[in-house]
A and B are shown apart, each in its own frame.
Chain A
Amino acid sequence: MDDILAKISEAVYEGEEEEVVRLVSQALEQGTDPQTIIQEGGVPALSRLGEDFNNEEVFLPELMLGGDCMKALVGLVSPHLGSDQGAYKGKVVIGTAQGDLHDIGKSLVATQLSIHGYEVIDLGTDVPTNVFLDRAEEEGADIIAVSSLLTTAQYYMGDLIGRLNSEGRRNRFRVVVGGGPVGPDYAREVGADGYARTAHLAVKMLDQVMQNEPGTALVIEA
């Protein structure tokens, strides 16, 4: 059993999604505990990827491929988990605000969240406010994460929270913000639930935000 978990871990690290699917299916058929597959197969690979990324031994594409493998792994084992055993810490709908085409910072945050236990729905760049809201509703998301590198696009963060307030839905979603011109003061001004300066800090911030009810407190990791 340890052997197959080691192989799963290696396949996640190498970003070989088809191999991950094959090995996880095999492990499930052999009766391996689903939580063990996640904790001893997927998680160590992602920790190693994160560490190697910080040491500049692997780069963003490898990190993203690893995140995709973990998503596939969790998708396969989820139906086998007990009803009280969530596979993810939370579900995040993430994107870059309307008018902004920058994607690297947002993708790095999405990947970091993905490899640290969040289910991430990446909407891409130039995402209109209504699309954030509609997709968050459709997906049953816990968190809406909005990034902007442009001052002209950051205003949509305030619009999004304003719309949630005016529609009486602020208690449905935690909203976190980030990106070049966005700082703690702006996050406070628009009434966000969280702000982080870097992708690494975003994980720490979101872990804390998930402890709070939406719209009740601001968590800052700067």
Chain B
Amino acid sequence: MDKHMKLLRSLDKARGGARVTEKEWDQKILPRTLKEVAKEHGLLGSCDPENPVNSDPQLADAFFKAGWDAAVRLGFFCPDTESVIRVEEDELARELERVPSNFPLGQGPEQVRVPARRPSDGVQPIYCSPLSIQMDEELYVPLVQGILSSRLVDMQEGPSIDTVMGSPLLAHTPYETFGGIYEAHLRKEAQWRAGRVGIGNSLVASSSTHFGFLAAFNLFEQPQLCLCLNPASLKVNYTTFHKAFVTNELGGYVRSESPTMVGGYTGGAETTAIGSIATDLLQFPITGAALPGSPSYEILYAGNCGRKGLWAQSIATQAVTRNTSMPLMKTINQVSGPFTEMFFLETIAGMTAASASGQAFTISPRSAGGSVKNHLTPLECWYNAAVFKGAAGMSLEDANTVCKEVLPRFEGQLFDPPKGRSFRELYDIRALTPDAEYLEMYLKMREYAEGLGIPMPGDGVFC
């Protein structure tokens, strides 16, 4: 009941809070407050794109203090009630003492514990795959079977499907409710085929509203992870509360994600990092999320493997992981696609920075920016996992050196990235084997990563 009470208190605040319009929040309250806070803490102008992974712990701590101030001053905006859910400073401090520092997901031998990590932590993070990239429904089972055939993958989230038995999976309709059920059955089939029964799930990928989630979450033995996607940083909506109540009752854990954008409502790289920290600090007190995640993307190319995206995300991650005991997740958004060298290079930059900065958990890949249907194969997933886990224990200075080495090789293409090829083009889907040329590229890029000082764990299939 304790967890339910927290959600009820948040809902009460959402109903009774001061009314502001979403436009006021987006255009004035949020950006101006973040800028004020950054100015007060002397952080404006501290972004250093030449060194995309911060290695100054004092700067990370200064960002934490600024993020804390922003969290207390702002709270979360609730679009459903057009009001603000505020959290007092003592309440924030009390709640953050209660965040679980680790928690289990999945069952039996497949169960994993999500650990809180700190920068340069030698403890390996948890890798969940793939993101909700759209696939033809007939490709769902073979693709997931392929992905889960490597033990580098600890948990499953995506992909997403856009049809259910040939009918369109329409948002806000009973198709979506059935979509959740249908996806659950496809997952179970694929996990069984891969010999991974009991693996933890982040649910559900094909329906971002509560309809699909409510239909599917109790079809799995708990504990599982509940996927809540909020529209933007420092916002929470009723959909998240619907999901959180059910998750609490069934014994799962909430993962609440709210993206920040460099260039978007949160402003430049410094204020975006502060907005991201504030969002992560407020998730547990407001939604009870055991796994908060406010990734930072760059609005101009919708990814975060460029310099400012890397910098904002890595300093925000370091700030939270150095000063709290909460496990933290953020996604890495590649914009290039499968069978492109750029994809591997983006992955090295994003995953190395994330792992060295103390992220506990990630879900990836976002191959081809997640915008091209069927552009996903198992090899991208395994490569992401190997870099994320291999970079555990790496110093921030070394992570910065790695990023500086790879960035010049792809950053010129961030605005017009190669989309690569599809699962059908790159795999023999019946045999679940990759095209020889693609396999050669994958193995070569593994060697390249190892040459940069990342000890890449084997995928158990090809190496």
Residues of B contacting A105 in the complex (Cβ-Cβ under 8 angstroms) = 302
B200 at interface by CB-CB < 8 Å: no
Is B170 within 8 A of A152, CB to CB? yes
A108 at interface by CB-CB < 8 Å: yes
What are 8 of the A-B contact pairs (CB < 8 Å)? Answer: A59-B265, A59-B266, A61-B267, A64-B27, A108-B264, A151-B206, A181-B162, A181-B371
Is A61 within 8 A of B171, CB to CB? no
Once the chains are docked, how many angstroms separate the CA of A59 from the CA of B308?
14
Once the chains are docked, how many angstroms separate the CA of A125 from the CA of B266?
19
Is A152 within 8 A of B206, CB to CB? yes
B169: min CB distance to chain A, Å: 5
Once the chains are docked, how many angstroms separate the CA of A154 from the CA of B171?
9
B28 at interface by CB-CB < 8 Å: yes
Once the chains are docked, how many angstroms separate the CA of A154 from the CA of B170?
8
Is A104 within 8 A of B300, CB to CB? no
Please report which residues of chain A, range 125-157, place their CB below 8 angstroms from some CB of chain B when the two chains form the complex: 125-126, 150-156
Q: Using known A-B contacts A99-B171, A151-B169, determine if residue A61 contacts B265 with beta carbons closer than 8 Å.
A: yes
**Interface size band for A:** 20 to 34
Is A56 within 8 A of B171, CB to CB? no
Q: Using known A-B contacts A98-B172, A99-B172, determine if residue A180 contacts B263 with beta carbons closer than 8 Å.
A: no
Once the chains are docked, how many angstroms separate the CA of A102 from the CA of B264?
13
The closest CB in chain A to the CB of B161 belongs to A151
Once the chains are docked, how many angstroms separate the CA of A220 from the CA of B373?
18
Main secondary structure of the interface of B (DSSP, over half): loop
Contacting residue for B31 out of A53, A59, A104, CB 8 A: A59
Once the chains are docked, how many angstroms separate the CA of A155 from the CA of B299?
25
- Per-position binary interface string of chain A over residues 74-107, scored 1 when its CB falls under 8 Å from any chain B CB and 0 otherwise: 0000000000000000000000011111111101
B223: min CB distance to chain A, Å: 26
Is A125 within 8 A of B231, CB to CB? yes
Is A53 within 8 A of B263, CB to CB? yes
Q: Using known A-B contacts A56-B300, A64-B26, A181-B134, determine if residue A152 contacts B263 with beta carbons closer than 8 Å.
A: no
Is B208 within 8 A of A152, CB to CB? yes
The closest CB in chain B to the CB of A128 belongs to B172
Residues of A contacting B171 in the complex (Cβ-Cβ under 8 angstroms) = 97-100, 150, 152-153, 155-156
The closest CB in chain B to the CB of A122 belongs to B23
For chains A and B in complex, what number of residue pairs have CB atoms within 8 angstroms? 98
Once the chains are docked, how many angstroms separate the CA of A45 from the CA of B136?
46
Is B371 within 8 A of A180, CB to CB? yes
Binding site for B on A (CB under 8 A): 53-54, 56, 59-61, 64-65, 97-105, 107-108, 124-126, 150-156, 180-181, 183
Once the chains are docked, how many angstroms separate the CA of A54 from the CA of B263?
9
B31: min CB distance to chain A, Å: 4
Is B170 within 8 A of A60, CB to CB? no
Contacting residue for A104 out of B168, B261, B267, CB 8 A: B261
B269: min CB distance to chain A, Å: 8
Is A104 within 8 A of B170, CB to CB? no
Residues of A contacting B79 in the complex (Cβ-Cβ under 8 angstroms) = 101
Please report which residues of chain B, range 211-245, place their CB below 8 angstroms from some CB of chain A when the two chains form the complex: 231-232, 237, 239
B3: min CB distance to chain A, Å: 24
Please report which residues of chain B, range 334-387, place their CB below 8 angstroms from some CB of chain A when the two chains form the complex: 369-373
* Chain A to chain B: the 8 pairs with minimum beta-carbon distance, closest first: A99-B171, A151-B162, A152-B171, A61-B31, A99-B172, A101-B231, A153-B171, A180-B371
B176 at interface by CB-CB < 8 Å: yes
Residues of A contacting B256 in the complex (Cβ-Cβ under 8 angstroms) = none
Q: Using known A-B contacts A61-B26, A61-B28, determine if residue A104 contacts B134 with beta carbons closer than 8 Å.
A: no
Once the chains are docked, how many angstroms separate the CA of A56 from the CA of B22?
24
Q: List 16 other contacts, CB 8 Å, given A101-B239, A152-B169.
A: A53-B263, A60-B263, A60-B265, A61-B265, A98-B171, A99-B209, A101-B79, A102-B231, A103-B232, A104-B232, A126-B172, A151-B134, A151-B161, A152-B208, A155-B168, A180-B369
Contacting residue for A54 out of B169, B209, B239, B300, CB 8 A: B300
The closest CB in chain B to the CB of A126 belongs to B172
Is A181 within 8 A of B373, CB to CB? yes
A62: min CB distance to chain B, Å: 8
Residues of B contacting A153 in the complex (Cβ-Cβ under 8 angstroms) = 171
Contacting residue for A59 out of B207, B209, B264, CB 8 A: B264
B327 at interface by CB-CB < 8 Å: no
The closest CB in chain A to the CB of B419 belongs to A183
The closest CB in chain A to the CB of B369 belongs to A180
Please report which residues of chain B, range 127-161, place their CB below 8 angstroms from some CB of chain A when the two chains form the complex: 134, 160-161
